[in-house]
Amino acid sequence: MTKIKQQPGFALKALSASVIASMLLLSACSSGGGGGSASKEQDPNGKVTLNFMTQSSALAPSDPNDKLINQRLEEKTNVHINWKNFTKDVFVEKRNLAMASGDLPDAIFDAGYGDYELLKLAKDGAIIPVNDLIEQYMPNFNKVLEAAPEYKAMITAPDGNIYAFPWIEELGSGKERIQAVDAVPWINVEWLKKLGLEMPKTTEELKKVLIAFKTQDPNGNGQADEIPLSFINKPGAEDIAFLFASFGLGENPDHAVVTNDGKVVFTPAEEDYKNAVKFINELYKEGLIDVEAYTQDWSTYLAKGKDHKYGLYFSWDKANISGADDSYDVMSPLAGPDGEINVTRTNALGFHRGRMVITSANKNLEATAKWVDQMYDPIQSVQNNWGTYGDDKQQNIFEYDAEKNTLKHLPLNGMAPVELREKTSVGGPLAILDSYYGKYTTLPDDAKERMRIVKEIMAPHMKAENVMPSVFNSIEELDRLTTIETDLFAYVLRMRTEWYQNGKIDQQWDAYLKELDRLGLQEWLEIKQSGYDRATK
């Protein structure tokens, strides 16, 4: 199952109204660039050409039309896409620049917009509402909304309009949803075996195991080059915060946990958070934490993981880091000092509202809507998400049975799932409902294993009955949330990192809580609680 790094809730600073206004003026005056598209009358074969902007992995072809999925799609729809494609690392900057310059594409595919940006661009007329297009030209998408009507409410803005096409990927539900936990702890079982150690069951046992990894040469090379514990120090699947749940409510990437009586809690202001940070500092003082953990990026983390240098690390899927072999296994959630075991649920769904938008420059709305609707054809959605079949130039994700109209996942043969998918899939808007498995596609092997981990190892220890739903806040609420979160979340991460290393959390805690309030925590909690109450009433 593809892990999506992007978190919808963390909106970027949106463009100002004056910038958008000048952009639209430029667009209206411009006769070239990405603003217009060739009409059917201009093409003797009736083929429509549209100008799209998108993003892709550096592993993928620079021209998305070199992907077999897109070649088949052009043949099926008689729509040619002129792509302006950027790698993920620069896409947001290029996207914002294009929207501000007046060189508007017809649409932005795999747009990655947060809610605040969507409403700001809509308010300023840069993107258009798509309600009527969905109703008139999008039977596939309408079938999705009929089968799963909750998404209709989730994609509809407070003003009643729909401004973007979503990405929907279901697998499991409730506590057994595949996204119910983000980071999974992977422990080096070969090292445990070599040193005659049991799998740790408590936080204290973990500390003893990590000390043994550091001091007893489990890789047997006579050098103290083992890294007992590593992580990437930011919210996400590689974060050490999985361990925080052993001390109470725990932590998740949104810093928001909902109690069983429906109260939204900001986790970094809780006493149990303080105790968890103190435990990480104990590990730090023992020299058990990777010296690069606080600064490393994905590629550095991956390189050491591939060399099996870690005693314990965190990731969505071990195949992406240390490989799919048996050297590492899941470490079950640990009992904390009070003997309690908890796994903090994430608020994540396989859902993102702002996956594709149509701009006000688009002169071929019908053709565009019909093309987008193909994204929601079940067989197309499955390929968009994972990759395709019948490619004679590289490894395939699927085998296609034309008679049954089904896509069967092929073995990955040692290839890291994320690498193969990034080469061949196209992302963008799509829908994969739970009902599609066994009907249109199979479960990939890595998803089967992850579902087993979530169901058997994690879900039984999830104490929280509630999660924060995907609330579509008003632009006023989003304006405040974005402003507050920019400083609040950065401050939380900075202080957490300092405390991991200097251990001064007790002395600085009261001043820290006051600073959280000064940065707007109470207003943040009010907006979040109000959103939760609206969505669950």
- Please identify, among 436, 460, 484, the residue that sits at the C-terminal boundary of a domain: 460
Residues 393 and 498 in one domain: no
DSSP one-letter string for 207-229 = HHHHHHHHHS-TT-SSS---EEE
Residues 303 and 442 in one domain: no
Per-residue pLDDT reduced to its tens digit, 192-227? 999 999 999 999 999 999 999 999 999 999 999 999
C-alpha span between 313 and 329 (Å, rounded): 11
In degrees, to the nearest 5, what angle opens at C-alpha 162 toward C-alphas 487 and 346?
Answer: 45
User: Residue 371: which of 68, 174, 81, 66 has the closest Cα?
Assistant: 81
Per-residue pLDDT reduced to its tens digit, 86-113? 999 999 999 999 998 878 999 999 999 9
For 173-182, give one letter per residue: b (16+ CB within 10 A) or e. Answer: eebebbbbbb
Is residue 217 within 8 A of residue 191, CB to CB? The reply is no
DSSP state of 234: S
pLDDT band (50, 70, 90) for residue 9: very low
Would residue 286 count as lying in a domain? Answer: yes
- What is the tally of structural domains in the chain? 2
Per the structure block, which two tokens stand in for 388?
């395709």
Q: Is the pLDDT of residue 119 over 50?
A: yes
Q: Look at residue 87 in the predicted model and tell me its pLDDT.
A: 95
- Please identify, among 460, 487, 510, the residue that sits at the C-terminal boundary of a domain: 460
Would residue 22 count as lying in a domain? Answer: no
Q: Look at residue 22 in the predicted model and tell me its pLDDT.
A: 37
Residues 196 and 274 in one domain: yes
Q: Is the pLDDT of residue 484 over 60?
A: yes
Helices 475-502 + 271-285 axis angle, to 10: 40
Would residue 39 count as lying in a domain? Answer: no
Per the structure block, which two tokens stand in for 509?
């805690």
Residues 228 and 304 in one domain: yes
Q: Is the pLDDT of residue 12 over 90?
A: no
pLDDT band (50, 70, 90) for residue 24: very low
DSSP state of 283: H
Residues 160 and 199 in one domain: no
Whichever domain contains 234, its CATH number is 3.40.190.10
Q: Look at residue 303 in the predicted model and tell me its pLDDT.
A: 96
C-alpha span between 446 and 425 (Å, rounded): 17
Residues 430 and 487 in one domain: no
- Please identify, among 460, 481, 505, the residue that sits at the C-terminal boundary of a domain: 460
Contacts of 36 (CB under 8 A, 6+ apart): 51, 106, 361, 363
Would residue 149 count as lying in a domain? Answer: yes
Would residue 495 count as lying in a domain? Answer: yes
pLDDT band (50, 70, 90) for residue 25: very low
Residues 413 and 439 in one domain: yes
What mean pLDDT, rounded, does the chain reach? 91
Q: Is the pLDDT of residue 145 over 90?
A: yes
Would residue 240 count as lying in a domain? Answer: yes
pLDDT over 90 percentage in the chain: 85
Would residue 8 count as lying in a domain? Answer: no
Q: How far apart are the first and last CA of the chain?
A: 32
Q: Is the pLDDT of residue 421 over 70?
A: yes
Residues 270 and 361 in one domain: no
User: Residue 289: which of 329, 246, 222, 232 has the closest Cα?
Assistant: 232
Q: Is the pLDDT of residue 10 over 90?
A: no
Q: Look at residue 534 in the predicted model and tell me its pLDDT.
A: 92
Residues 197 and 329 in one domain: yes
Q: Quick one: average pLDDT of 490-513?
A: 98
Is residue 316 within 8 A of residue 447, CB to CB? The reply is no
DSSP one-letter string for 343-387 = -PPP---SEEEEEEEEBTT-S-HHHHHHHHHHHTSHHHHHHHHH-
User: Residue 418: which of 444, 389, 390 has the closest Cα?
Assistant: 444
pLDDT band (50, 70, 90) for residue 417: confident
Is residue 429 within 8 A of residue 356, CB to CB? The reply is yes
- pTM reported for the whole predicted model: 0.81
Q: Is the pLDDT of residue 438 over 70?
A: yes
Residues 315 and 202 in one domain: yes
Residues 336 and 226 in one domain: yes
Q: Quick one: average pLDDT of 519-525?
A: 98
Residues 225 and 366 in one domain: no
Look up the domain containing 79 and give its range: 48-174+350-460
Per-residue pLDDT reduced to its tens digit, 253-303? 999 999 999 999 999 999 999 999 999 999 999 999 999 999 999 999 999
Q: Is the pLDDT of residue 133 over 90?
A: yes
Q: Look at residue 420 in the predicted model and tell me its pLDDT.
A: 85
Per-residue pLDDT reduced to its tens digit, 396-416? 999 999 999 999 999 888 888
Per the structure block, which two tokens stand in for 515?
């600073």
Q: Is the pLDDT of residue 53 over 90?
A: yes
